[in-house]
Structure 1
Amino acid sequence: MQDFYIIIALLKARKYRLTNIFLKISLCCLFVCFTLSATAHKISIKGVVYGKNTNTPLSGATVKLLHTPKVSTTDNFGVYIFTDLADGPYELQISYLGYEQSRASVEVNQAAPAKVVTHLATGNLQLSEVAVSAAQDKPLNIISAVDLQMRPIQNSQEILRFIPGLVMAQHAGGGKAEQIFLRGFDIDHGTDINLTADGMPVNMVSHAHGQGYSDLHFLIPETIQAVDFGKGPYQANKGNFATAGYADFRTRTALDRNSIKLEAGRFDNYRAVGMFNLLGPAARQNHQNAYVAAEYLFSNGYFDLPQNLDRLNIFGRYQGIINDKTIINASLSAFRSNWGASGQIPERAVSQGLISRFGAIDSSEGGNTARYNATISLEKMLAHEAVLKNQVYLIKYDFNLYSNFTLFLNDPVNGDEIRQRENRTIYGYQGSYEKELTLLGKPLRSDIGIGLRYDDVNGSELSRTRNRAFVAPAQLGNTNEANAFAYWSETWELSPRLSVNAALRFDQFYFKYRNLLPTDTLAAVLKAKRNRLSPKLNISYALSPTVQVYLNTGQGFHSNDTRVSVLPNAREILPKATGTDLGVTLKPTNRLFVNAALWFLDLEQELVYVGDEGIVEPSGKTRRYGLDFSARYQFTDNLFGDADVNLAKPRARDTEAGAYYIPLAPTATSTGGFTYQSPNKFRGSLRYRYVGDRSANEDYSLTADGYFLLDAVAAYTFKKLEFKLSAENLLNQEWKEAQFETESRLRGEAEGLTEINFTPGTPFFIKAGITYNF
């Protein structure tokens, strides 16, 4: 570990200078792409890939032109093209995660493009199908439905743990969004990761509990088709919060069959899921699909105080394809959840025998929330394969949370319980135009996008309460926040080996806060506006068919709460993040895939609104660098192994000596395991999760304990029935899921004490389920 940090330190200064150089180059590249003439390319092969059971387009399928270095990827229409090929016979290899590979022979003739239609059947992942090329900068950055089946998960939020290096922690009952950690960031509930679902934002700006609050519980896990993810601020179409990375959840466009699932587990855990097609086979043949899914969950949890978690999800989606030129997607969903929580407890309360590890000090913590989504998108294929996409969405959101972090520190009589509440409506639009041309004889892909998000938040409240009864107000106001954006991205394939992407993104923010508890120091209405320009430059080069190197560099940002942004002395309310990734992707054999990257990220001075206290705290400048390493190996056609190791060195800048640690920021994490999948019968996996010890405060005088856990899943299919058994924490380790340096006071104590307050992690948990498919 020490040698690793020495190497990084030697590279750090040089890489930082390179970052600024590449950002300037990106502006020049965009100017060149704009001024030089571009012409339409000549299409030699045009193909479309569908799922066999659903007859829907497969977006992101890999198509290799065998015996050449050319590789293409299907778009949302399932379409791929190869251009400027000489006449003659060619062979195509088509593959997609979770589907069987297919091959097709085609004859190219200059008279007209050769047309190929492929229907892929579902099957197991084969690493031999994964291509390494300059055209694919992240060949395994997709979490597929196959992965989801082989991991023990309780909700969609936990799917984020599949992202290498991402750690999660729940500390206020199963209904609250989890705390997220990635690349040396304590992201809290979403300050530095951009999360979306079917194009709709998940992050909540200026949220009552904290900036960027992201609750994914409104997604039903079985409806998720794939999750696209990336690290760093390098994607032009990812804006606010995309500093440490992003994750884009995509629901199924269609169901291959109906299903009913029933599950039951320890701690009074019960769950039922139903998924049903609404249209018949005739409609499917005409590329019309619609389905509805519903989920109900109840759990008392493993705490001494039953949490009475009660969750209901209803989701409906439609997709229609008209004349192979227009795709209409529409969805509606409704979600509500109620829960109790045991919160965070002081270590001394357990050591003194006042409560058990699973006990509670304040028995009235918990809350309720609801979210309703409506969205419709229209994608139109124009002349010369250009694609125009428009999407509108409407989100209605309610939130009500009771918490007590300091117990009786501030109010020895009533206690320090608080209520955070808001009612929110989000209106949004986003559109994009994509086209592929030829510039100086080389393929040039243009992607231009615009969008607007408007948040109307009413009754954003912070109040003092006792046993959920109102005691006194602390803050109350209405927030209006608008984010208009535009981006322009150009990807130029200078050769089958070399690809260059240059992009610019512009974001404009408008903030307004109406204080419903006016004081002499804070006016009734405050307004502000800010903007941010974010350049990107990404270069990918395939040294050989088995070795690819890439350099990603760019700038991103995360916004601050409106209540911070409107203050007269607010400055860096859109703090800039500047990052660089230098990586390599290796495929030395058909059965081994390796990715490694050195990375670097600087974050500017910022002001942070602390929702639990209603105050503003400066956090200062930070610098992070580290190493990500991932390996995937296929031992046999049915047995896979994988491992991810992630190292980070996060530091605060311009601080006193010895006080430069970033509290709770992970420095060493690792996940991995083995997965077995037989063609139709048995599937199983054994996996581990590891998090190293890390600092709990700025001077490392307190330690947040690490942990090592084992999880497992086994499933067996018999005709139309599937039997599944999943287990978490097989070794029944006593571990702390969430940990904080907190000054708290127990009832009867003369004064507060600062120590680790924690939420215990789940003990051994087992759940059984049965699914009927028809």
Structure 2
Amino acid sequence: MSRFIIQSRLRSWQAFLPFCCAFHVHAGGLPLDSNQVEETSLPTITVTAPLTFNLLGVANTASQGTVTQAQLKNRPLLRPAEILETVPGLIVTQHSGDGKANQYFLRGFNLDHGTDLASFVDGVSVNMPSHAHGQGYSDLNFLIPELVNFIQYRKGPYNAADGDFASAGSVRIEQMRQLKENFVELTGGSFGYERLLAAGTTEYLGGQLLGAVDVSHSNGPWDVAENSEKQNVQLRYSRGTLNDGWSLAFSHYQSDWGSTDQVAQRAIDDGLIGRYGSLNPSDGGETKRTALTFNWADTTLTEQRKLDLFALHYKLNLFSDFTYYLNDPIHGDQFEQLDERNVFGGRYEQSFFSNLLTYPMQNKFGISARHDAISSDGLFLTENRVRYATISDDKVNETTVALYAENTLNWTPYFRSTFGLRTDFYHFDVDANIAQNSGNLNAHKTSPKIGFVFGPFGKTEYYLNYGYGFHSNDARGTTLRINPDPRDAGYLSPVNTVSPLVRTKGGELGLRTEILPHLHSTIALWQLDSDSELVFVGDAGTTEASRPSRRRGIEWTNYYQPSKAWQIDFDAAFSQAKFTDDDLVGNHIPDAIGTTSSMGIAYTPNSPWSVGLRLRYFGPRPLIEDNSVRSTASTLVNAQAGYQFSKHLSGKLEILNLFNRQVNDIEYLYNSCLRSDSATAECSASSTNREGFLDRHIHPAESRAVRASLRVSF
């Protein structure tokens, strides 16, 4: 009798329970590997999913999904954060050294280092508010891609569990708690690339103990060797499963590197440097991240509870030079950004599964809190990494608490609704080295969300979503009263403070269909409004608040798996980004992504061989408000082949930038002065019209690189 009741109740909840608790599925419909214990949140029930799991009746939007281990396995990666390119329409690039956070592009945004893309690893927010280099700075270099279990993504501000930095979307990465087999892997390749990865699990005191060490070195194709050194250690003890168990993890990551920052195009054209040359060989940095994380979950037939707690210490010293001799013709324009902080926080979430009359219903309630104690948030003028002046060196305490609730109700087998409400409270406390810029401030934002799902009708489902979101601004900008920058003509003059929390709101209309056998397709038509843009400032390496904006676009995603051996995916995204207030300078948002597409093929037959091939197109973008100057487009192809020599020995060959395309990772348009420009009126130290030369500043994509790996498992 009890078994019959459980099965009956499960059938009544099947419209939404699988997505919330039981399955983690890709937008293309591939379930997690069947041997993963995290498959189901109902431990008394065994659910066997077919190879192509039907997302119809499960998803709440057309633009959400999950990427599995199987999809990551045959994907060649230049950098760890490139695993995020498994999210359709998301581009990951770099405009500096590989020890620095990557540059992200999604849904009409140049997201800088993460301003409107919220990223989480094992429930811990990676974005850093009030960061020395950029608001929402999200450095994912500490990831070990081989240990990623799955990636869940959502686009748009429609999920009540997502708050700050999630207007364009959110990405949640879960790492493995147990390995199928222990292994040691050695990799060597072009440009002095060397890597040692060792990982394994063992049973200990009734649980699983996982450890991993990842050490690497690379010089890159740059004329000035990057000399990048990375060390990464992870240790995790866990019991139970992801949805019924707990985990305690320790991780430590550190990196130091030299960097070839973006360079002026005229320096290459005039033969002053080569394509991979540097205009300041002392640029670079070092960073450290040490974290302690606790995750706990308990699931019964009628409810699910989750708790995530974390504490971390973080430090970054970053030396950059984007304008060379524009501000200081004697010392040059290099500057150091210092960020050192301790972060503490957590989230508790509880879901209740019940019925409203005869209608299956889920109610979710959550609370999260975070405190960033920033002991030094500094900007210094440097020459060859030696400080000679201080612009700012502030202490910041930033605290946020969020409350959220969400209701999902199945009104009929062909119609369900989701209503969410979230309120975020902020407290900013700034102790600036210039007393007038110190102060404290409280702020809050309430963000409603709503969504409707119609269908499935003939293997097609329709979605309508609308929601409010926001991103926070740097705490220092909320208390800033006078200009602290001695390089600026307005030094110590009054300035306007920025709004602490910037409202965004967006809507989405989409569909998901499986009309054709083995093919899963989604289409999403979306729009997002923002009360204020953040704009990159080249000579300071910072962002500043700007005008209100509107973005709109369409995304088309396809995933085709005709058999176990073949996986084929294709996606394309088209977007438009413009300021909504009229200005004579123009209404285009500089460097806003317009068109992107990607295609991947993975072939894993029942034989020793496996092959993966990826193509990524990154379209042209306006570099100035009037759209008179645009970036060039880029197309890159990466390839990977694997071979299983024996049960315990395998090899892998990766070719990155297969066709050795000379394209750019990033392009900006701003003014700068080279040392060779010193005799011109635009750059002479004695000139009254010293404004520099307006020029493209580019960071080239890395040239073709070959990497070979050998893995011994035991």
Q: Output the TM-score relative to the length of structure 1.
A: 0.83
Select which of 302, 306, 314 maps to 2:225: 306
| 1:423-475 per-position Cα deviation (integer Å, ceiling 9, x unaligned) | 10001021111110100211110110001100000121101000001111111
Asked if 1 retains the 8 angstrom alpha-carbon contact of 2:224 and 2:277, the reply is yes
- In structure 1, the partner of 2:90 is 166
Corresponding residue of 2:18: 73
- Work out which of the residue numbers 336, 342, 349 in structure 2 matches 1:419: 336
Q: In angstroms, what is the RMSD of aligned CA positions?
A: 2.8
Distance, in Å, in 2 between the alignment partners of 1:488 and 1:351 is 57
Tell me what 1:272 maps to.
196
Cα distance in 2, alignment partners of residues 702 and 97 from structure 1? 45
Which of 303, 308, 320 aligns to 1:386? It is 303
Select 1:176's aligned residue among 100, 119, 127: 100
Inter-partner Cα distance in structure 1 for 2:538 and 2:703: 31
Change (3 A) 1:177 1:771: same
User: What is the aligned-residue identity percentage?
Assistant: 31
User: Aligned partner of 2:651: which letter?
Assistant: F
1:747-766 equivalences in 2 (<5 Å) = 747-749=675-677, 750=680, 751=683, 752-766=692-706
Counterparts in 2 of 1:546 and 1:442: CA distance versus 1, 3 Å: same
Q: What corresponds to 2:445 in structure 1?
A: 532
Distance 1:474 1:116, change over 3 A: closer
Shift of 1:290: 1.7
**2:686 alignment partner in structure 1:** none
Mapped contact 1:131–1:139 kept (Cα < 8 A): no
Code of the residue aligned with 1:240 in structure 2: it is D
Contact residue 333 and residue 374 of structure 1 kept, 8 A: yes
Unaligned runs of 5+ in 2: 482-495, 684-691
Contact between 1:130 and 1:139, CA under 8 Å: does it hold in 2? no
- 1:350 matched to 2:274? The reply is no
- 1:58 maps to none
Q: CA deviation at 1:400?
A: 0.2
SS in 1 for 2:266: helix
Q: Tell me the SS of whatever aligns to 1:148.
A: helix
From the superposition, tell whether residues 596 and 657 of structure 1 become closer, same or farther in structure 2 (CA, over 3 Å): farther
Aligned equivalent of 2:414 = 497
Equivalence map 1:59-98=2 (5 Å): 72-73=17-18, 96-98=31-33
State the alpha-carbon separation in 1 of the partners of residues 670 and 467 from structure 2: 36
The Cα of 1:708 is off from its aligned counterpart by 1.2
CA contact (8 A) 1:95 1:101 kept: no
8 Å CA contact 1:573–1:607 kept in 2: the answer is: no
- Determine helix, strand or coil for the equivalent of 1:499: strand
- Where does residue 557 of structure 1 map in the other structure? 470
Deviations 1:463-491 (A, max 9, x none): 10000011111111100000110000011
For 1:634 and 1:272, how far apart are their aligned partners in 2?
33
Q: Secondary structure at the match of 2:226?
A: coil
SS at 1:563 equivalent: helix
Alignment of 1:306-705 (within 5 A): 306-321=225-240, 327-381=245-299, 385-518=302-435, 522-523=436-437, 525-544=438-457, 546-567=459-480, 569-570=496-497, 572-605=499-532, 613=540, 617-657=544-584, 659-679=586-606, 681-705=608-632
Contact 1:741-1:757 at 8 Å conserved across structures: yes
Structure 1 pair 576–156 and aligned structure 2 pair: CA distance change class (3 A): same
SS at match of 2:191: coil
Question: Which residue is equivalent to 2:150?
Answer: 226
Check the 8 A contact 1:210/1:610 in 2, yes or no: no
Residues 681, 610 of structure 1: CA spacing in aligned structure 2 closer, same or farther, 3 A cutoff? same
Query: What secondary structure sits across from 1:158 in the alignment?
Result: helix
2:476 is paired with a residue whose SS is helix
User: Which secondary structure does the structure 2 equivalent of 1:494 belong to?
Assistant: strand
Which of 126, 129, 134 aligns to 1:205? It is 129
The answer as to 2:6 corresponding to 1:44 is yes
CA contact (8 A) 2:572 2:597 kept: yes
**Partners of 1:130 and 1:255 in 2: how far apart?**
28
SS at match of 1:575: strand
Change over 3 Å in CA distance of 1:70–1:539 after alignment to 2: closer
Distance 1:578 1:325 in 2: 32
Match of 1:695, SS? coil
**Partner letter of residue 265 of structure 2?**
E
Which of these residues, 734, 739, 744, is aligned with residue 667 of structure 2? Answer: 739
Q: Secondary structure at the match of 1:44?
A: helix
2:46 is aligned to 117
CA distance in 1, matches of 2:535, 2:664: 26
Deviation digits for residues 145-202 of structure 1 (CA, Å, limit 9, x no counterpart): 1121111113321111121111122111110011111100111001110111001110
Q: Which amino acid aligns with 2:415?
A: L
Task: Give the drift of 1:381.
Answer: 3.8
- For this pair of structures, how many residues does the alignment match? 677
Q: Indicate the residue corresponding to 2:689 in structure 1.
A: none
For the Cα contact (< 8 Å) 1:148–1:159, is it kept in 2?
yes
Give the superposition deviation at 1:606. Answer: 5.6
> What letter matches 1:548 in structure 2?
E
TM-score by length of 2: 0.90
Q: Secondary structure at the match of 2:456?
A: strand
Are the structure 2 counterparts of residues 351 and 76 from structure 1 closer, same or farther at C-alpha, using a change threshold of 3 Å? same
SS in 2 for 1:267: helix
- Secondary structure of the residue aligned to 1:349 is helix
8 A Cα contact 2:477 2:498, kept in partner:
no
Q: Contact between 1:134 and 1:548, CA under 8 Å: does it hold in 2?
A: no
Distance, in Å, in 1 between the alignment partners of 2:608 and 2:8 is 37
CA contact (8 A) 2:286 2:317 kept: yes
Amino acid at match of 2:200: F
Displacement of 1:552 in angstroms is 1.3
User: How far, CA to CA, are the matches of 2:63 and 2:632 in structure 1?
Assistant: 34
**Secondary structure of the structure 2 residue equivalent to 1:558:** strand
Moved more, 716-725 or 384-393: 384-393
Q: 2-side partners of 1:166 and 1:290: how far apart?
A: 34
Summarize deviations over 1:62-87 as a string: whole Å, max 9, x none.
x999xx986751766889xxxxxxxx
Contact 1:132 1:139 in 2 (8 A): no
Match of 1:189 among 109, 113, 132: 113
Distance of 1:205 and 1:365 partners within structure 2:
24
* Distance change (3 Å), C-alpha of 1:151 and 1:696: same
2:81 alignment partner, SS class:
helix
CA distance in 1, matches of 2:11, 2:643: 34
Alignment partner of 2:34 out of 85, 90, 99: 99
User: Does the 8 Å CA contact 1:366/1:401 hold for their aligned counterparts?
Assistant: yes
- Cα–Cα, structure 1 residues 326 and 169, in superposed 2: closer, same or farther, change >3 Å? closer
Q: Which moved more, 1:349-358 or 1:651-660?
A: 651-660
Q: Is the 8 A contact 1:194 1:241 kept in 2?
A: yes
Contact preservation (8 Å) 1:64, 1:71 = no
Query: 2:254 and 2:417 mapped to 1: Cα distance?
Result: 45
Cα 1:306–1:747, aligned 2, differ >3 Å: closer, same or farther? same
Q: Is the 8 A contact 1:512 1:526 kept in 2?
A: yes
Is the CA contact (8 Å cut-off) linking 1:305 and 1:359 kept in structure 2?
yes
Q: Give the secondary-structure state (helix, strand or coil) at the position aligned to 2:696.
A: strand
Q: Is the Cα contact below 8 Å between 1:331 and 1:376 reproduced in 2?
A: yes
Task: Name the SS for the 1:588 alignment partner.
Answer: coil
Confirm or deny: 8 A CA contact 1:652 1:660 kept in the other structure. yes
**Conservation of the 8 A alpha-carbon contact between 1:325 and 1:381:** yes
Q: Counterpart of 2:455 in 1: which secondary structure?
A: strand
Name the counterpart of 2:486. none
